Structures are given as structure tokens and as C-alpha cells.
Structure 1
Amino acid sequence: MAPQANELWNEVHLSNIKAIIKDLPSVDTERIYILGHSMGGHGTYIITQIDPNYFAAAAPSAGSGLKDTEEFIDVSKIKDIPFWAFHGDNDNVCPIDKDLKVFAEMKKIGGNMKFTTWKGEGHGIPVKNFTDNTQGNTQLSGDRCDPEPVLLKWLFAQKK
């Protein structure tokens, strides 16, 4: 699924997604993933906090908020979900500092998060995330993290 939104994601959106998936018997409910860029990245963080047990993995890209966005990510709620966040260090739309703070907090509490920084890149990084991630600088929050360097291989290896 690739839902689009013109507002921030919330419980209603998640309920709608769950209802659609429930009616699709071929979906492996042990392998439901959530990814998003920019507002979709915000949604990735928001939705996983609403129901942390629903997703097998999450991959937000430039998703920690705009310059003036209040902090909205409670890492204690999502620390056990395999996360791989991506951000360009020259992003002037959604500054990297908020995502770096999330990563530092995940590291501090033993969360399961990988973080890739795209050096010299701005907000337009989604294609890079699906290509050779060895070009980005990837850090792991701890020993729980799968070091696989290719996003889709990493993603499809995750299972609840």
C-alpha cells in the first residue's frame, strides 16, 4: 500500500490501514512494514507509536519534523521495533538534528535503530535509500541491529 495524506497521520488512518489489510488474506501479518519520506516519515514515527506491536519494521526518511515542529517521538514506545532512519545532513526542510536526537535516545535506551546520514544531501534522498547504502554513513544503536547494508534486504529479513 502507498497511502497519501494531506494531514498528519493519526489513529483513524491506522485503523483504516488495518481494516484494509485484514481483508487481504494473502498478507503475512508477521511482515507488515511501514516506510515514508518527509511527511510520510513523520507518519512512520507517529503510527508506530500508536501501535508498536503491529509492524515488523519501520524506515522513516527525513521524518523527524520540520524546523518548528514540536518533538513528537517517544522512543520508549518504539524501541523494540527494528528502525532504519535516513536523513541528508543538508536537509533544510526537515533538519537532521531532530533525527540525530531520536537516534541518540534510542542508543541510550538500547533501542533497535540504524541511522544513515547522506553527506552533502538535502531533502530529496528517497531514491538513495533504495540504492547502495554503502555510500551513506550508517550507525547502529547497539548489538540488536541487523547490519545488512541494503534497505530492502534488511526490511524483508524483519519479522515479528
Structure 2
Amino acid sequence: MSNQSIQPAEAASALAEIQARRDQVISESMIPNWYWAAIGVLMLGFMAAIETRQPWVVAVGSVGYGVGLTLVITRLTRRHRAQVSNRMLGVRGVLAITVMAVSLVGIGLATGFGLEALGTPRPATISGAVTAVAMTISGPLLMRYLRGVMTARPLGEG
């Protein structure tokens, strides 16, 4: 080891560079806003197809959903190669993701069963639309929250 001492300005510059690189990885790993709407549209189409109860429509809707989901995920993974370690999310991040997922399921089920109880035609399709809108709105909010959680973590924290 060298006996040279590191100057405070050099240390500050190195830490700033590490912070900038971490922020870049976090930014590149965030799920983009278009993803949430795309998944919502695919989900809505799938539900609408199933609700017709026409075998050929269900088949076309199922294949369309599968192909569409594959295309969306392929585009996402090709453009967003950076992946943040789960440790960066921490308990708060994991809890936020869980709350969002459970909330979306709850919104969909409550809306669907409520509409069915009222005798509304196509309750699953309507509840799917409500859930798709909720996902399109809440997905980017979740990403903003997770970005804040990850960037607030001290450098070097596991």
C-alpha cells in the first residue's frame, strides 16, 4: 500500500462519481411508463375475449395475450438491461410492490363482483378496464417511490 494520503477533494469527487453511477443504474432499471399501460391493455383484451364465451374468440384472445405479453417483456428486457439488486429495494420497496399488487387485485375483484351483483353486463371486462387504469396510474407512481427508496440508501449499504 502507498503512504500517499487521499485529499478530501479527491475523495469527494470519487464519491460523487459513485453516486452518479448508482443513480444511472437505478434510472436504467426503472420500468418505463408505457409498460403499465401495455400490460393493462393486454389484460383487458384477454378478459373481454374470455367473457364472450365464444371458443374461437377465447382462443384468439389467449394467443394474442401471450404474444403481446412476450413482445412487451422482450422489448422491456432488451432496452433495460440494468437490474438493481433486491437489497437496494429494502423492506420499504418490497412492501410497496406488495401493497400495489394486492391493491390492484382487490380493486379488480371488488369491482367485478360488485358489478355482477348489480347485474351489469360484462362485469369482468369493466373491472379489467378499471384495474388497467389503476395500474397505468399507479405503476409510474410506484417507480417514482422506488427510485426515491433506492437513491436514499447510503452508498455501500447492503
Report the TM range for the smaller structure's normalisation: under 0.3
* More helix, by proportion: 2
With a CA cutoff of 8 Å and minimum separation of 6, indicate the structure with the bigger relative contact order.
2
Decide which structure has the larger Cα Rg and report it: 2
TM-score of the aligned structures, taking structure 2 as reference length: 0.25
* More strand, by proportion: 1
